[in-house]
Every structure is written in C-alpha cells, then in structure tokens.
Structure 1
C-alpha cells in the first residue's frame, strides 16, 4: 500500500467500530499516526493494538462527544498533545442514529441528541482544530455525510437532516478555510455492512435492490475514499461530497 500520509497525524472520531475503525486502520496503513477516539476504551484499545500489530502507529483517546463545546475542545487538546503538537487530518465520523421512523414519532430528546452528537460535536471539534491547522500551514478535514441527506425516504427524516447539515457545513468550511490552506470535503456512504456481521445474514438488502452495486458495501470502501481526500492526491478538491454508495443516490433505482 502507498504511504500517502507518511509522517502526518490524524484524529478519527467514532473509530472504535465499523466505518470509523476501517478509516483509522486505513490512515495508519497509509503512514499516519492516528488517534482512535470513542466512548468504549476496551474497543478503542483493541483497534489500536490491531494497528500496531500491522506496523502502524496509533493511540487511543477516550471521548464522549455529547455536543458540548467543552467535550469537543477537550478531545482536540488531548489528541493534539498525543500527536506531538499537531493534527494534520481530522475525520468527523462519530454519529448516532436514533430510531424515529416518522415526524410524529420524534420526541424532543431524540431530536436534541441527534443534533448534539451529529452536528454540534463535529462543529465544535472543527472549531478547535481548524485554527491550529491554519497556524501549522494547512490540513485536511473530512466529514461523514450520508446518501439519505439527498435522497429522501418517508422515515428517518431527523437523522437525514443532521447529515444534510454536515454536507452543507462541508461546503461552508471549504469556502472559509480553503484560502488558509485547509481543505474540507465529505464522504457520503451508502448502505454499509458492518464487517462483524455474518456475511450470510441479510442486512438492508432491500435498500440496495436495483442499484448498480446491487448489494451493501464494506467499510473499507469508505475508508479508501477518506484516505484519498486526506492525501495530496486530492490537493485540488475542496468542498466536495464524494458519494460512495453503490450508486444509491445518483442512479435511478429500479425495483427487481
């Protein structure tokens, strides 16, 4: 594998499982010193151990990104220290999905928590990290959106709106920070099968019927896209949302 991120540092939120774990592993394999972050220390240390066993460099920093400015700024400060004084790449991956099928079923607490974790937490984390990136001469920020931000479904609108917010912030931050050397982009995943699931089990197969891919994706596909956007290969890419969704959002879905 290429070493496009050799001697760089990266903070990946929500990286103790699934997509975030795959991103942390890929950035480390590309040469970055990665801070794995999440609420579960046991899982986080397991991810770190795996990266180190493969010859990569990683450390775990526990964080509960509850949407408060204090929590996000504290993570930025600790990760910066662990990474030797700088963060070259920030991946805003941490997020939650609260089951709220319809407008009528969404209560105030659920909506507040979705926006706290999915929007406010990465907002304040970026607020803390970006100025230091500018001072250090540049960096790359990659946000995680979702296909549901642009292809509406009759349920899950509250969650979809948080991902739409992150895709909008991606463009706004790109406009604000690009001239100062910080590139901001996003990856929009489609239906992804967590690798710990038995491949024989059906997982949201109905959501991929009729798409060009025809099946759920693997977290490694998302990780590869993030690694590209974080690297100098994407030096001319600003404010983009890269769809990695098997064609779900952009190609007409035909029922089987």
Structure 2
C-alpha cells in the first residue's frame, strides 16, 4: 500500500494554529512540500520556521490570504505556482467556530462571518487551487468539516449549517471534477482541542463530551495527520465525494 506523499505540494489553509498547524507540520514530516496559508504572513512564517526544524522536511513557503477574499486567494495560488509549478493537495481547514447562540439570539453579522469563513473560503480556495491540480493531472481536496455538520444541537445552527454546506460542497466538487482527476473528502472530526474551541466551550461540556470519546479524551489536532496523509497518497485514489467521520456526532 502506497501512502507516500514525499515531494507532493500540499496547501494548508488556516495553518497558523490548531488543526491547520498540526497538519502542516505532520505532512511536512512525511516529506510533503507545504504551503502554509494564514491571514497573516508573519504567523504563517512562524510555522514555516517550525517546519524547518523537522528532520527531513522539505522547504515550506508562507502565504497570506483571508480565504473569503478572492483576490487574495488568487494571488496566493499564483505564489504557489511560481514556487513549485503545481499543487497536489489542498487542505481547506480555515474557518471560524463562534460561541453557541440560539437562532433567535443570533445577529446576522455573526452568521455572515461564519458563512464567509467556513463556506465562501472553501469555495474560493477550491476555485483557484483546483485548476493547478487539474493542470498537473489531478489531486486531493480535503474539506475540514465537523461532526456538527451532520448532527447539531441547540446553539449550533450557524456553525452546523456552515459545515453541512461544506459537506455538500465537497460532494458537488467531486461530481464536477472527478473526471479531471480531482478527489474530494469532507473530514468530520468531533470536538477537537484547539485554541479557538477552548475559548468558547465550557469545562462542563468538555468533560461530558470527553467521557464519550475513545480513551476518555478529546481529539487532538495531531490525531488527524495520519488520515489526511493517507487521503493525499495514491492508496486513497478511489475515495472521493464522501464525508468521513473521525469521531461520530454526540
């Protein structure tokens, strides 16, 4: 079974912290050439510098773009093209998890921000990076979704709705681009310990959810590295258009 990703060019969005940072470091450790994309180039460069300390990791590049800003994303895609001339995988990880709010209490401005970060961002990055993959013969797009996109509770309408849209987007991109070599997967982890999550989730909720997860602990960003590396390798060529759960909805 070949899951070797050495030399592949992988773009990771939202890679300054949390899941994105863990994926950037983990995929680089497996030999991928990683483009670290974040809203601030300085923060992206911090991760690039961390990659430089990983034994055997190829040189990485730092990119700056708000993923909902199409012009910025288009410019970032041009930078990757200039640096490496190809893209083999895009990890659509950038997004925002707001504090839980019930529908009648949610400001439209907050809903708009969630949809721009989580849905528009995935749409725009796919639009501008997928052509580079197609030109090179195909590639993998991983949409980092959430178990909440399938089963959400009170207070999660905005975030859950955005991730449900990401799941649909992943499947539609598969239908539109599979014949051009593009494979898609929506990856749906359960509650994962990240700085953004920790800011908005209560200790009581953490304890309740942790007790129902394997090993009695929350997921860690590093738990996703092996699965994403597998998806980016040739062994996963026939997996496309589906949503994969890392942990089930609670």
Q: Report the TM-score, using the length of structure 2 for normalisation.
A: 0.89
Classify the secondary structure of the residue corresponding to 1:26: helix
- In terms of fraction of residues, the more helix-rich structure is 2
Q: Which moved more, 1:12-21 or 1:235-244?
A: 235-244
Task: Give the aligned length.
Answer: 242
Contact 1:195 1:219 (8 Å CA) reproduced: no
Match of 2:208 in 1: 206
Q: Which moved more, 1:226-235 or 1:187-196?
A: 187-196
In structure 2, the CA distance between the partners of 1:37 and 1:110, relative to structure 1 (3 Å rule), is same
Classify the secondary structure of the residue corresponding to 1:242: strand
Match of 1:165 in 2: 165
Match of 2:85 in 1: 85
Mapping for residues 99-248 of structure 1, pairs under 5 Å:
99-194=99-194, 204-245=206-247, 248=248
Question: Which is bigger in relative contact order (C-alpha 8 A, separation at least 6)?
Answer: 2
Deviation digits for residues 131-162 of structure 1, max 9, x if unmatched? 22112111111111101011121112101111
Deviation digits for residues 173-211 of structure 1, max 9, x if unmatched? 1111111111111211111123898xxx95822223334
Q: Report the TM-score, using the length of structure 1 for normalisation.
A: 0.87
Match of 1:62 in 2: 64
Classify the secondary structure of the residue corresponding to 1:155: coil
Say whether 1:76 aligns with 2:77: yes
Classify the secondary structure of the residue corresponding to 2:103: coil
Contact 2:192 2:220 (8 Å CA) reproduced: yes
Q: CA deviation at 1:14?
A: 0.4
Structure 2: state its 5+ residue gaps.
none
Whole-angstrom distance in 1 between the partners of 2:75 and 2:30: 27
Structure 1: state its 5+ residue gaps.
none
